[in-house]
A and B are shown apart, each in its own frame.
Chain A
Amino acid sequence: DAMVIQNPRYQVTQFGKPVTLSCSQTLNHNVMYWYQQKSSQAPKLLFHYYDKDFNNEADTPDNFQSRRPNTSFCFLDIRSPGLGDAAMYLCATSRGALETQYFGPGTRLLVL
């Protein structure tokens, strides 16, 4: 049974065209995260929500925004994708901040 679901699995967008990636969870976890992962690199945390409390990483570009309308769903909005934003975007959840994180299958974003 899928616990962290991401849609779509693959997303192709044009340079500068806004795109939204979605994540949902059935674990009822308090914390939801968005990571960006490029080839052969570690996942890079963009931001996270602890319940409704939004926490942005200092080096996350303003081009990236997030919404968490309820416990189950979290969205990543990229307002004006650039070629450098092509990556795998991973959503994860955890009960608490330092606890095991469970990842969704990721959305692979291609920017043309």
Chain B
Amino acid sequence: RKEVEQDPGPFNVPEGATVAFNCTYSNSASQSFFWYRQDCRKEPKLLMSVYSSGNEDGRFTAQLNRASQYISLLIRDSKLSDSATYLCVVGGNNAGNMLTFGGGTRLMVKP
């Protein structure tokens, strides 16, 4: 089992749609969780941290389910500019106690 696993997609959705991604992690002792966004041929950029109680930032909502060891990202009212790869990042998931990146989920929002 991969340490941090994501559906690679692509998710093709129309503008205005709601889309959700899940990410599973292998170590129940993991301590920190993030969603990063990466545009084609650019560096990853922090989208949002994920807190135990769940958190929202505008159209984006992140949830953590420790019992089932997954985090989720919900995007409402998708915009063309949301097209990117979304990377799930989990901290404290491995022996080195570093952040581990998932392979990313590609989202394409179409007009």
B91 CB contacts on chain A under 8 angstroms: 97-98
How many of chain B's residues have a CB under 8 angstroms from any CB in A?
24
A98–B46 touching, CB < 8 Å: no
Q: Which residues of B contact A45 (CB under 8 A)?
A: 98
Beta-carbon nearest neighbor of A104 in chain B: B43
Determine if A100 and B34 form an interchain contact, defined as CB atoms under 8 angstroms apart: yes
Contact assessment for B31 and A98 in the assembled complex, using a CB-CB cutoff below 8 Å: yes
A42 touches B98 (CB 8 A): no
Chain A contact surface mostly = loop
Closest chain B residue, CB of each to CB of A103: B43
Which residues on A sit within 8 Å (CB–CB) of B87?
Answer: 42-43
Q: For residue A99, which residue of chain B has the nearest CB? A: B32
In the complex, chain A residues whose CB is within 8 Å of the CB of B4: 42
Contact residue among B32, B43, B49, B102 (Cβ-Cβ distance under 8 Å from A106): B43
Residues from 34 to 65 in A contacting B, C-beta threshold 8 Å: 40-43, 45, 48, 55, 57
Q: Contact: A90 with B101, CB < 8 Å? A: no
Query: Cα distance A8–B97 when bound, in Å?
Result: 30
Closest to B31 in A: A98
What residues of chain A have their CB less than 8 Å away from a CB belonging to chain B? 40-43, 45, 48, 55, 57, 88, 90, 97-106, 108
